Every structure is written in C-alpha cells, then in structure tokens.
Amino acid sequence: MSQTHSSQSSKLLFHVPIILIVAGLLATLFTAWTEPLIPIGQSVINPEQFAYTVIPTSENQNSTILSPDVGIVAGHYGNDSGAVCPDGLREVDVNLNNASLVQKMLAEKGIKSEILQEFDPKLSGYRASLLISIHADSCAFINEEASGYKVSAALSNPQPDKSARLIACIRSHYASTTGLRLHNSVTNDMTNYHAFNEIHPETVAAIIEVGFLNLDRVILTQKPEVIAAGITNGILCYLNNEDIVTTPTP
Ligand SMILES: [Zn+2]
C-alpha cells in the first residue's frame, strides 16, 4: 500500500515538471498569440467608435450620439441635372462637388460618411446620426432678393428637438462661414422632401439649398471649399452637441 502510494507520488513528482513546461509553453503561446492583437497599453476597443462620444450639455442630458455616421445626399445625383444655367452649369455637378468636399472634411475629423444618390435605394429606413441633402437654387434671375441659403427639416419630424438643433447648428455655422444670408423662403419642396419620409424615424435630417446658382454663382463655383466648410461646421456643431440657441423648426 505504502509502496504503491510512494510509486504514485514519484509518478506525480515526475509529472509536475512536464505540467509546468506544458503550462509555460501554453502561456508563451497565448502571450505570443494575443500580443499582436492587444498591444500593451492599448485598448481593444476601436477608438474610432468613441471619437465622437460627447459630453452632454446641461440642456441635452439625454442626448448621446450612438453612431457617428453621416449620410450626404448629393441633390439630383443619379437622377437628373437639377437646375441648369444657360452656359451649361448643372446643379447636380455643384451638389456632387459639395457633397464630396463635405465628406472629405468630415473624414479629416474622423467621421465616417457616405454619399447617397437623390433616390438612393439605401434611403429606405436609412439609419445614421444625421442625414443632410445638399441642393442649390435656381439659375434663373428671379429678382435681387434671390440670393442666400435655405435650410429645413421635415415638417412632421418625430424628433423636433434634435431637428431644431441641427437646423440651428447649420444656420449659425453656414452663415458665419460663407457670409451668405438666410433666404427667408422655405418651400414645400423642402419641408416635404421625399427622403424625410423614407429614412428611419430616428435619423435626424435636413435639406440645405446652399445658394442661388444665379446671384451666388461666384462663391458657389469658385469657393466650393467655403460652402462645404459651412455645411461641415454645422454638422460638427450638431455631432459635438455644441451649445446653440434653437428656435422651433418651421
Ligand atoms: Zn435641387
């Protein structure tokens, strides 16, 4: 009995180093395996996901941004030319250029965005932190007042507070960045904009007419980076929960 026991003990003692070696090898392998995936001192969480986590302002305690994605509709893109000037300048080209510049500027801030066509199939149930549709106004000479920008949210928006913030952010930053004034005529085409009824109800959306192709042609065609910066600054104001005085959406 004692001999058997002694023999088992010595077997066990013989096995201990093997167990230790195997354990050591496994630990080394595990470390070697995980090291490239989780560099020491770094988080496994992709920092991009949290780059736009905002500290809510006192007025917006419940406002947190879950997704930093922005959808940018390039007005008329993939469908028609939009307004056309006598010399052939097409609204759709102006819109697509603006949309591309906004996308580039957002990317520089680490914000993912995508350009959508006017009637993009993706718009159905579209989910993002916000959707902006970029258009430009008529190239016809209407009168001396036909200058400036317009911005609107949906008429029956299920999230009026968020919409009001987005509109206020865009108005404030677009005006100060571009120097263009607010043209006080939001049309039914804007408030009843088709995409507003297609996207997911939680996606906050706005449509901007960046200026008139006739009287604002110089800035629209020669300073597109200023136009795009105005839109981008408005978007950043909204995403960063910047303090802004909001007025009820029209
Ligand atoms: Zn248009």
119 and 4 in a common domain: no
**From the CA of 190, how far away is ligand 1's center (Å)?**
10
Same domain, 145 and 178: yes
The pLDDT mean for the chain works out to: 80
Q: Is 247 contained in some domain?
A: no
- How far does the centroid of ligand 1 lie from the alpha carbon of residue 31, in Å? 58
Same domain, 1 and 93: no
pLDDT digits (tens, 9 = 90+) for 28-59: 444 444 433 333 333 333 333 333 333 333 33
- Note whether 115 and 10 are same-domain residues: no
Residues 6 or more apart whose CB falls under 8 angstroms from that of 56 comprise: 62, 63, 64, 241
What DSSP state is assigned to residue 127? -
Angle CA 134–186–228, to nearest 5: 25
**Residue 226 has what pLDDT?**
98
Does 23 share its domain with 124?
no
Judge if 68 and 33 occupy the same domain: no
Residue 117 lies in a domain: yes
Determine the structural domain holding residue 213 and report its residue range: 49-239
- Residue 225's Cβ-side half-sphere holds a number of Cα atoms within 13 Å equal to 2
| Ligand 1 centroid – CA 70 distance (Å) | 20
pLDDT of residue 23: 54
Q: Residue 111: which CATH number?
A: 3.40.630.40
Ligand 1 center to residue 119 CA distance, Å?
12
Which stretches in the chain have pLDDT values below 70? 1-68, 247-250
- Rounded to the nearest angstrom, the distance between the alpha carbon of 156 and the centre of ligand 1 is 21
